[in-house]
Structure 1
Amino acid sequence: MNESPSLESLRHELEDIISQNQLTALFQPIASTRDGEIFGYEGLIRGPSSSFLHSPINLFRTAEELGCLHALDFACRRAVIKAFVREELAGRLFLNVIPSCLAEQDFKPGATLALLNDAGLAPQRVVIELTETQPTHDYNLLKEALLHYRDMGFKIALDDLGEGFSSLRLWSELKPEFVKIDKYFIQGLACDAQKRQFVRSIQHIALNTGTRVIAEGIESQADLQVVQNIGIGYVQGYFIALPNAHPPRQLNLNLQEKDYRPSLLKAQTAGQLLVEVPTVLPKQSGTEICRIFSKYPQIHALPVIDEQRPVGLLRRHEVIEFFGRPFAHELYGNKPCKGLMDCTPLIVEHSTSLQELSQLVTAADHRHLADGFIIIEQGHYLGMGTGHDLMRAITELQIRAARHANPLTLLPGNVPIEEQIEILLTEQRYFTAAYIDLDHFKPYNDVYGYACGDKMIRMLGELLLSIADPQIDFVGHIGGDDFMILFRSTDWKQRCKSLLKEFELRVQSLFKPEHLLQNGYSSTDRRGELQHFPLSSLSIGVIEAHQDMYLTHHEVAAAATHAKHLAKSKLGNSLFVEQRQTDDTEVQMA
């Protein structure tokens, strides 16, 4: 085992690295989820490749122990700026800065600007990214330093939101233009409902504060799709591109199409509630606002828009009440309306599901139900939605779901399944249909009774919901012991295998010990003859619906049924995947 070098030897090595410019800059692209284009690059640092200080963790930890953190931080800025210009990279440079270095008493304003001037890089292209490796004690000094940067044209980003010592306080006090969500909350996002709720909450706060969110740590297509669906505008991670001294200039991201979320009704997102209303600017006068409300008596609220982004909401009753006071028109009529607006209206992405939207409205202030909410796309204003339209749409969804739901599992039945398949086919979406069926269920029902049979079916329904992604997959109950999942998840095969394993574990509790020992039981078959039956197992038949492969839901159902029969031909829990190509059929048993 190699021993770490002594602190004294590291001191000399670190001094040489700083004085002789031996730091190497790497760049990792930050991509837009709107079009997949590169928005900018984060500058990262490595020490000499053969050194203990090559790792940034060792490099900065050693500098902190030796009291050289300030000098190293500045040397890193110098190396990153020079390399960024040398590589002729487009977009913004996200420049990491340690907050404590800015909050020191001997902080020298203008040093970073001098580096940019020497390199020929405009400060308007640079985002100061605060990397919190240690607590920030003097917020006033830090705030003063950042205001100094802003005055020169820099933007501010807060790194690792959710991980640091005081990241939420920094967000509140510094009001950064960007926040980066820590990779812990992004990795595995597609399979973790709690993480998704956290990320949605951050996005909701960001929309109301005018902050742009960057999701760090994207390592799979599934997580990228969920992040895009939540409405986060920018992404970064190994799945997007690895850090490199010569990074790519273009990316080839597989971004999801708009409005692809499965639904029983096509109008299941906030975007379908959108209505156009007049908008106003923050500088418009109170008198102008009164005229607009008089002209449109049916409008309860006016969105205040600044450069296509919503910044507030003016409520009719508040404006009328305010100007109904004596001398209000004379005193305030010519003043900007921004003093009258609500600066924290409810703002939602157009792709937000009606269920999520209803939860946001009911959990927030009751005024959102009466006055409505603002609908955006990637931060840009689209229109307004009303509480009345939301409640009506939710009621229609509930009535429709109840009418066609299976009474035992409450999952969507045949009609919604067929409609969902037709929607996917019509919109030419790639999907995977999995037909799930219990094996030897009738003998189990005969031996144990219908109550136990119902319990097994409910257990299976709950399992299907747990392995499917509620954001993009559709789970239906065909009837009896037959189910269907329409997967849009790219890792559908792993989810099916997990389903088989989990079913095998859980189903044990539904059998008597003696039947488990015998691996079955005796019951009369369909001809009335006594026969030994194995324990109930699960068969999954899968088909992949590529573009133009199937024309109707009948064809999909027939192909999935055929795959299920082939899966049932194998004893025990089984997964059969049918892969159809143009002229021939390839079959595999998993």
Structure 2
Amino acid sequence: MSMDPPSFPARSGEEPPRRPAPGSPDGDVTPGISRQAAAIIEAILADPAPERAPVRDRLRDHVAAHPGHPETALAEHLLSLGSLASFPAGAAGPVPSEGQHPAESPAPAVDGALSRIDAVLKGRMLLSAFQPIVDLTTGAVVGVEAFTRFVSDGGPTADWFADAAAARLGSELEFAALECALATAMHLPPRLYVALKLSPAICLDPLLPALLQESTLSPDRIVLQLTEALTAGQPAALAAALAPLRRTGVRLAVEHAGTYPDSIPRIRQLGPDILKLDRTLIAGIDTDPLRRCFGEAMTAFAEQLGATLIAEGIETSAEFGAVAGLGIRTGQGYFLGRPTTRPRDWARWDLPAVEARSRNVPGGSARS
């Protein structure tokens, strides 16, 4: 869950931090997570829209049920909505399964998008969730991937990043999601790296280096994860723009490796540190010879590049076994752990390898 508003340079349209919402602890001793949850609660309750009155009433019930614990009240409220829009930080659309290509959807309606996105930006009504990335040989969590969750009753088809792009607020929303993820990541176990999903356009934005440098997250824990297919000319531009950051220890990851035309030569030109195989390739890899052959080829390609290969979207024990059998050492997916906003879940990822193995690999009884 999102913590304190970050101390990065203010962007246009931002408001000062809000006072604590009803039910929150008073004074400077309030933990960061409680203060941010209280601010989000206040923003929701201050919304005058009549059509959202049932949502406000439901939230008031949760606040009343957990006096002095706004973070618990907000978490239960989000779970009860059932229509929480969840997207990777900076992504251009929904992700049906972790790491899977988003489905094609009609162009978003611009009507109402501007005010809706503007309200999210001003009220900081977004949270960060993290999904564990696991060493498949030891079961230890080695990193996380950041996802953005929006506090909204907008319905299951709410396409926040596409709507933001249509309203010419795409960069603003991506940067807000990035700021939220960087601030929240400070509450993760300090040995874990954080994969931040960004579009190539944001990676080329001159504001990005300053934003990362203002963060207290050390560069060697930051992974910039490109969310879109690379187009002709982008690898050279990205390599030049990101070279100074990479020299400080920031790493670069590419999603959907090998799944679009010309991806192999463009990835080779970019030279990322991490390649990610998405759910479309992992689904059924235990029974599909073609997927297995592709996995073998991508394993060899990653070795040639000197890059780490990560299998996304591992959802069954059989898929886990097939991926591990290919020699892929790192993976993520619902079988290993779902994205979560809860600090108590994050704390469990800081386990010794032996104990972690009992939780995160076949034969263990628990999941993150």
Q: Same fold (TM over 0.5)?
A: yes
One-letter amino acid of the structure 2 residue matched with residue 110 of structure 1: P
What corresponds to 1:160 in structure 2? 256
SS of 1:86's equivalent? coil
1:37 to 137, 140, 156: 140
State yes or no: 1:254 paired with 2:361: yes
C-alpha change, 1:166 and 1:47, in structure 2 (3 Å) is farther
1:206 to 302, 326, 350: 302
Measure the CA separation in 2 of the matches of 1:31 and 1:78. Answer: 25
RMSD: 2.4
One-letter amino acid of the structure 2 residue matched with residue 31 of structure 1: V
SS of 2:339's equivalent? coil
Q: How does 1:363-442 map to 2 (within 5 A)?
A: none
One-letter amino acid of the structure 1 residue matched with residue 162 of structure 2: R
1:182 to 264, 275, 278: 278
| Cα deviation digits, residues 483-506 of structure 1 (max 9, x gap) | xxxxxxxxxxxxxxxxxxxxxxxx
What corresponds to 2:333 in structure 1? 237
For residue 46 of structure 1, report the CA deviation from its aligned partner.
1.6
C-alpha change, 1:75 and 1:152, in structure 2 (3 Å) is same
| Cα deviation digits, residues 225-250 of structure 1 (max 9, x gap) | 11111100101001111111024424
Which stretch shows the higher mean deviation, 120-129 or 84-93?
84-93
Contact 2:128 2:149 (C-alpha < 8 Å) held by counterparts: yes
C-alpha change, 1:5 and 1:93, in structure 2 (3 Å) is closer
Measure the CA separation in 2 of the matches of 1:136 and 1:18. Answer: 33
For residue 183 of structure 1, report the CA deviation from its aligned partner.
1.0
What corresponds to 1:65 in structure 2? 166
Contact 1:99 1:131 (C-alpha < 8 Å) held by counterparts: yes
| Cα deviation digits, residues 339-361 of structure 1 (max 9, x gap) | xxxxxxxxxxxxxxxxxxxxxxx
What corresponds to 1:113 in structure 2? 212
For residue 28 of structure 1, report the CA deviation from its aligned partner.
0.3
For residue 101 of structure 1, report the CA deviation from its aligned partner.
2.2
What corresponds to 2:265 in structure 1? 169
Measure the CA separation in 2 of the matches of 1:41 and 1:231. Answer: 21
SS of 1:12's equivalent? helix
State yes or no: 1:216 paired with 2:312: yes
C-alpha change, 1:169 and 1:20, in structure 2 (3 Å) is farther
C-alpha change, 1:255 and 1:46, in structure 2 (3 Å) is same
One-letter amino acid of the structure 2 residue matched with residue 99 of structure 1: P
One-letter amino acid of the structure 1 residue matched with residue 119 of structure 2: D
Contact 1:99 1:142 (C-alpha < 8 Å) held by counterparts: yes
State yes or no: 1:14 paired with 2:142: no
| Cα deviation digits, residues 439-485 of structure 1 (max 9, x gap) | xxxxxxxxxxxxxxxxxxxxxxxxxxxxxxxxxxxxxxxxxxxxxxx
SS of 1:203's equivalent? helix
| Cα deviation digits, residues 352-399 of structure 1 (max 9, x gap) | xxxxxxxxxxxxxxxxxxxxxxxxxxxxxxxxxxxxxxxxxxxxxxxx
Which stretch shows the higher mean deviation, 42-51 or 211-220?
42-51
State yes or no: 1:28 paired with 2:131: yes
State yes or no: 1:100 paired with 2:207: no
Q: How does 1:480-499 map to 2 (within 5 A)?
A: none
Contact 2:130 2:339 (C-alpha < 8 Å) held by counterparts: yes
What corresponds to 2:187 in structure 1? 86
Percent of aligned pairs sharing the same letter: 25
| Cα deviation digits, residues 21-43 of structure 1 (max 9, x gap) | 21111100000012010010000
Contact 2:161 2:170 (C-alpha < 8 Å) held by counterparts: yes
Structure with the greater alpha carbon radius of gyration: 1
One-letter amino acid of the structure 1 residue matched with residue 245 of structure 2: Y
Measure the CA separation in 2 of the matches of 1:5 and 1:254. Answer: 40
Contact 1:31 1:39 (C-alpha < 8 Å) held by counterparts: yes
State yes or no: 1:124 paired with 2:220: yes
For residue 169 of structure 1, report the CA deviation from its aligned partner.
3.4
One-letter amino acid of the structure 2 residue matched with residue 94 of structure 1: A
Q: How many residues align?
A: 246
| Cα deviation digits, residues 280-311 of structure 1 (max 9, x gap) | xxxxxxxxxxxxxxxxxxxxxxxxxxxxxxxx
Contact 1:214 1:235 (C-alpha < 8 Å) held by counterparts: yes
For residue 61 of structure 1, report the CA deviation from its aligned partner.
1.1
C-alpha change, 1:211 and 1:64, in structure 2 (3 Å) is same
SS of 2:186's equivalent? helix
For residue 134 of structure 1, report the CA deviation from its aligned partner.
7.8
C-alpha change, 1:64 and 1:22, in structure 2 (3 Å) is same
Measure the CA separation in 2 of the matches of 1:121 and 1:73. Answer: 18
For residue 88 of structure 1, report the CA deviation from its aligned partner.
4.3
One-letter amino acid of the structure 2 residue matched with residue 112 of structure 1: L
| Cα deviation digits, residues 54-91 of structure 1 (max 9, x gap) | 76x70111122222221111111101111111344641
SS of 1:30's equivalent? strand
One-letter amino acid of the structure 1 residue matched with residue 195 of structure 2: F
> 5+ unaligned residues in a row in structure 1: which ranges?
257-590
Divergent runs of 4+, >6 A: none
Measure the CA separation in 1 of the matches of 2:170 and 2:109. Answer: 18
For residue 92 of structure 1, report the CA deviation from its aligned partner.
0.5
Measure the CA separation in 2 of the matches of 1:61 and 1:6. Answer: 9
1:50 to 137, 148, 153: 153
Query: As a proportion of its length, which structure holds more strand?
Result: 1
Measure the CA separation in 1 of the matches of 2:121 and 2:232. Answer: 25
For residue 207 of structure 1, report the CA deviation from its aligned partner.
1.3
One-letter amino acid of the structure 1 residue matched with residue 112 of structure 2: S
Measure the CA separation in 2 of the matches of 1:166 and 1:14. Answer: 35
Measure the CA separation in 1 of the matches of 2:229 and 2:304. Answer: 28
For residue 215 of structure 1, report the CA deviation from its aligned partner.
0.1
2:175 to 74, 92, 110: 74
Measure the CA separation in 2 of the matches of 1:210 and 1:190. Answer: 26
Measure the CA separation in 1 of the matches of 2:232 and 2:163. Answer: 19
C-alpha change, 1:77 and 1:192, in structure 2 (3 Å) is same
Q: How does 1:567-582 map to 2 (within 5 A)?
A: none
